[in-house]
């Protein structure tokens, strides 16, 4: 078969490489978040203490919690806020470049369904769909509004299930199908 005769769906990147890119992105965000959290530790104390106070109000018998548990909450919240913010910030690379840092490392990128190079409009629609759960979760955490976090959890579950659609014949996640995009090896994307 000539390369031009290969159906476009077969040129799309499958689940494994996309998962690898996601894991690389998570590792990068996690490492930077640890460094930033340690560097900003005391700067964020007042803000984090306010969030902990709101959360402790919802926990029965919170006054009986050991100090170690409260400190673990403090560091968990601080890391979560920093990692959420960094994750959102680094996801903008995908919005503007058509590939996250992990995708770039693995040589894959987002394109239109037909394999044509995307643009900021195409990538923007996909980015909003893909990041909606994270954005709502971040807002819910920052504002300490549990209802927003709950909505983000439902959207996140739909996103997670939708990622497994990549295992299908079309090799598109739910957010790809809706935004009419797919992930390809960089050399398979046409102009």
pLDDT by 10s per residue, the chain, length 191: 555 578 888 899 999 999 999 999 999 999 999 888 888 766 766 777 777 777 777 777 777 777 777 777 777 777 888 888 898 899 999 999 999 999 999 999 999 999 999 999 999 999 999 999 988 887 887 787 888 988 999 999 999 999 999 999 999 999 999 999 999 999 999 98
Phi-psi region of 118 (alpha: psi -120 to 50; beta: other; left: phi over 0): beta
Sorted by where each begins, the domain ranges of the chain are 9-188
> Per the structure block, which two tokens stand in for 100?
């996250």
Phi then psi for residue 133, to 5 deg, are -65, -45
- Report DSSP letters for 173-191, one per residue: -HHHHHHTEEEEEGGG-B-
Phi, then psi, of 166 in degrees rounded to 5: -60, -25
Residue 140 is inside which H or E element, if any? Answer: helix 120-143
C-alpha–C-alpha distance, residues 185 and 120, integer Å = 19
- How far are the Cα atoms of 15, 69, 110, 156 from residue 180, in angstroms, in the given order? 17, 46, 10, 20
pTM above 0.75, yes or no: yes
Distance CA 99, CA 91 (A): 9
In 3D space, the residue among 175, 167, 162, 176 whose CA is nearest the CA of residue 114 turns out to be 176
d(CA 133, CA 158): 9
């Amino acid at each position: 078969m000539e390369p031009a005769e290969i159906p476009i769906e077969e040129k799309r990147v499958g689940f494994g490489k996309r998962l690898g890119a996601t894991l690389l992105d998570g590792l990068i965000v996690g490492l930077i978040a640890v460094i930033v959290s340690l560097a900003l530790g005391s700067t964020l104390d007042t803000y984090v203490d306010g969030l902990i106070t709101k959360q402790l109000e919802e926990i029965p018998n919170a006054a009986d919690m050991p100090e170690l548990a409260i400190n673990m909450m403090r560091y968990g919240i601080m890391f979560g806020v920093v990692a959420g913010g960094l994750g959102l910030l680094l996801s903008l690379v995908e919005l503007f470049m058509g590939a996250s840092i992990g995708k770039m490392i693995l040589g894959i990128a987002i394109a239109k369904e037909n394999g044509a190079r995307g643009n900021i409009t195409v990538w923007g629609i996909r980015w909003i769909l893909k990041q909606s759960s994270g954005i709502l979760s971040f807002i819910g955490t920052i504002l300490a509004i549990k209802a927003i976090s709950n909505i983000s959890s439902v959207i996140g579950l739909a996103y997670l299930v939708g990622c497994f659609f990549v295992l299908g014949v079309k090799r598109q996640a739910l957010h790809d199908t809706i935004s009419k995009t797919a992930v390809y090896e960089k050399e398979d994307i046409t102009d």
